[in-house]
């Protein structure tokens, strides 16, 4: 039985080194003829003082605006990368772009399961084990709990 990868999930933090990570995801997708799903996760932080000044409807509008801006930013970066590297043929592998909210690691894991991902690609800051113990790490949590292979691309090196 041949090893195949048909669906890849790339989770972006919209970090400056994101294009390098994205190029890995696109390259793997092209090699396997896979579809690439791109997500970014907006961690929602409830700031109680805002409730003193804004109505719930206004807060909802602000969150919706943030999601639209993040989605537009992610789409723009993908378009720019496709233009800068036409040999990648990004449009041939791109299945969709989503902006999600909540806990980043859980959103990545849930999306991977929902789309039937065969692989997850994300960047890793390469924190020490002690640092991860104190602050947590999305990459570490995804790697530990994922049901599929996870490709961690170093972004601080």
What are phi and psi for residue 154, nearest 5 degrees?
-65, 135
Q: Which of 70, 60, 147 is nearest to 108 (CA)?
A: 147
Answer whether residue 130 is part of any domain. Answer: no
DSSP SS3 for 120: strand
Flag whether pLDDT at 27 surpasses 80: yes
Answer whether residue 131 is part of any domain. Answer: no
CB 75 within 8 A of CB 99: no
Mean pLDDT of the chain: 84
Higher-confidence residue of 95 and 48: namely: 95
Give the mean pLDDT of 56-72.
78
Answer whether residue 139 is part of any domain. Answer: no
Flag whether pLDDT at 58 surpasses 80: no
Domain that holds residue 31: 8-119+145-152
Answer whether residue 92 is part of any domain. Answer: yes
Answer whether residue 68 is part of any domain. Answer: yes
Residue 97: Cβ within 10 Å count? 17
Answer whether residue 133 is part of any domain. Answer: no
pLDDT band for position 39 (cuts 50, 70, 90): very high
Q: Are strands 119-124 and 150-154 parallel, antiparallel or unpaired?
A: parallel
Give the mean pLDDT of 124-147.
70
* pLDDT tens figures, 71-114: 898 899 899 888 988 998 999 999 999 999 889 999 999 999 99
List all residues 6 or more positions away from 100 whose beta carbon is below 8 Å from its beta carbon.
39, 40, 41, 42, 107, 111
| Tally of domains within the chain | 1
Answer whether residue 59 is part of any domain. Answer: yes
Answer whether residue 23 is part of any domain. Answer: yes
Q: What is the CATH number of the domain that holds 22?
A: 3.40.50.620
* Cross-strand pairs, 100: 41
25-29, 70-74, 128-132, 149-153: range with lowest mean pLDDT? 128-132
- Give the pLDDT score at 120: 97
């Amino acid at each position: 039985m041949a090893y195949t990868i048909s669906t890849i999930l790339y989770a972006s933090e919209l970090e400056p080194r994101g294009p390098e990570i994205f190029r890995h995801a696109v390259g793997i997708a092209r090699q396997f003829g896979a579809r690439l799903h791109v997500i970014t996760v907006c961690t929602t932080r409830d700031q109680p003082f805002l409730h003193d000044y804004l109505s719930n409807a206004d807060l909802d509008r602000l969150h919706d605006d943030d999601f639209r801006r993040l989605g537009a930013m992610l789409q723009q970066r993908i378009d720019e990368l496709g233009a800068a590297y036409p040999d990648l043929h990004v449009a041939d592998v791109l299945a969709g772009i989503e902006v999600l909210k909540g806990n980043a690691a859980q959103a990545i894991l849930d999306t991977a399961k929902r789309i039937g991902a065969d692989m997850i690609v994300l960047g890793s800051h390469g924190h020490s084990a002690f640092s991860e113990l104190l602050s947590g790490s999305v990459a570490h949590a995804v790697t530990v709990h994922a049901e599929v292979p996870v490709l961690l691309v170093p972004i601080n090196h």
